[in-house]
């Protein structure tokens, strides 16, 4: 995979950062995008280059369809191809549904669901030409169960939508050697949640511990490999059996 190029959204922090550094170690060229974390993005690219790989950090708001298209074009102009798209950007907020605002509601779809559509539409043409491509999205554990989520309703629905979107694309692009799959994390110690909250939730996780960003990067690495060529439209639960 030494000639492969990956584009990772949300690659400056958390799971996206871990995936970027892991792929660099596998010989991938790694482009990440960030919205405001310029310093963190620069550190990630330094890590990529220390592993001997090529790295590129681009500031972009992928909730803007025009900006998302420009991002894909910039990576293609720099390296001539995009072999893997990792949709790592996906903020959330906890707001009781009855207190949710129109702005907050739309922001969850604008930042979690819509960018996956914009970016996937933009990268598919090149992948079809090469007859090879990998697209990975991040949903959330228990999204398939369609349970009530009154504290993060919009975020949850956007993650449910991702599953349907990925499966729909998978049906259309499989014949071109392209796969699109989802990974659904449960409680992952990515640095975004307070440790006290993770410690409380451990009691509810059958595995007995919270996952790590390395668990997530390992799942991505597998889905990008040729060994996973026949896995398409799948949803991998990354939760230590929580939420299943």
Boundaries of every domain in the chain: 5-238
pTM score, whole prediction: 0.95
pLDDT band at 190 (very low <50, low <70, confident <90, very high): confident
- Where helices occur in the chain by DSSP H, the ranges are 14-25, 38-50, 65-79, 102-112, 114-130, 153-173, 195-201, 213-224
pLDDT at 119: 98
The mean per-residue pLDDT over the stretch 59-71 comes to 97
* CA angle, residues 139, 142, 147, in degrees to nearest 5: 115
pLDDT band at 196 (very low <50, low <70, confident <90, very high): confident
| b/e 60-96 (16+ beta carbons within 10 angstroms → b) | bbbbeeebbeebbebbbeebebbbbbbbbbbebeebe
Task: For residue 109, give the 3-state DSSP assignment.
Answer: helix
Burial class (CB in 10 A: 0-12, 13-18, 19+), 124: buried
The mean per-residue pLDDT over the stretch 10-24 comes to 95
pLDDT band at 1 (very low <50, low <70, confident <90, very high): very low
The mean per-residue pLDDT over the stretch 26-55 comes to 95
pLDDT for residue 200 is more than 50: yes
pLDDT for residue 40 is more than 60: yes
Phi first, then psi: give them for residue 60, nearest 5 degrees. Answer: -160, 140
Tokens 């549904």 sit on residue = 97
Q: Do residues 57 and 12 lie in contact, with contact meaning Cβ atoms separated by under 8 Å?
A: yes
| CA separation for the pair 29, 23 (Å, rounded) | 8
> Which tokens in the block code for residue 241?
């059996």
| CA separation for the pair 222, 219 (Å, rounded) | 5
> Which tokens in the block code for residue 70?
């420009």
Q: Do residues 23 and 50 lie in contact, with contact meaning Cβ atoms separated by under 8 Å?
A: no
Of 182, 191, 187, nearest in space to 231 by CA: 182
pLDDT for residue 74 is more than 80: yes
98-141, pLDDT tens digit by residue? 999 999 999 999 999 999 999 999 999 999 999 999 999 999 99
pLDDT for residue 34 is more than 90: yes
Percent composition of the chain: helix, strand, coil (DSSP 3-state, to 5): 50, 15, 30
> Which tokens in the block code for residue 84?
């893997």
Q: Do residues 131 and 176 lie in contact, with contact meaning Cβ atoms separated by under 8 Å?
A: yes
pLDDT at 26: 94
Phi first, then psi: give them for residue 190, nearest 5 degrees. Answer: -105, 0
User: CATH classification of 5-238 is 3.40.50.720, yes or no?
Assistant: yes
Q: Do residues 145 and 96 lie in contact, with contact meaning Cβ atoms separated by under 8 Å?
A: no
């Amino acid at each position: 995979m030494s000639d492969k190029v990956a584009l990772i959204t949300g690659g400056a922090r958390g799971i996206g950062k871990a995936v970027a550094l892991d792929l660099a170690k596998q010989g991938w060229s790694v482009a990440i995008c960030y919205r405001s974390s310029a310093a963190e993005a620069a550190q990630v690219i330094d890590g990529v280059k220390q592993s001997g790989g090529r790295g590129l950090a681009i500031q972009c708001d992928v909730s803007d369809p025009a900006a998302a298209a420009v991002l894909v074009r910039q990576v293609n102009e720099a390296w001539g191809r995009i072999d893997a798209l990792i949709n790592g950007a996906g903020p959330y907020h906890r707001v009781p549904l009855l207190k949710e605002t129109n702005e907050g509601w739309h922001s969850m779809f604008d930042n979690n669901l819509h960018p996956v559509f914009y970016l996937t539409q933009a990268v598919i043409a090149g992948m079809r030409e090469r007859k090879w491509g990998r697209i990975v999205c991040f949903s959330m554990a228990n999204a398939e169960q369609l349970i009530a989520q009154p504290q993060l309703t919009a975020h949850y629905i956007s993650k449910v939508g991702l599953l349907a979107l990925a499966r729909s694309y998978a049906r259309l692009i499989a014949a071109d050697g392209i796969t699109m799959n989802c990974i659904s994390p449960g409680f992952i110690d990515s640095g975004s949640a307070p440790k006290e909250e993770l410690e409380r939730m451990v009691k509810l996780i059958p595995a007995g511990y919270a996952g790590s960003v390395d668990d997530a990067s390992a799942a991505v690495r597998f889905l990008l490999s040729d060994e996973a060529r026949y896995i398409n439209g799948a949803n991998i639960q990354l939760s230590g059996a929580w939420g299943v």
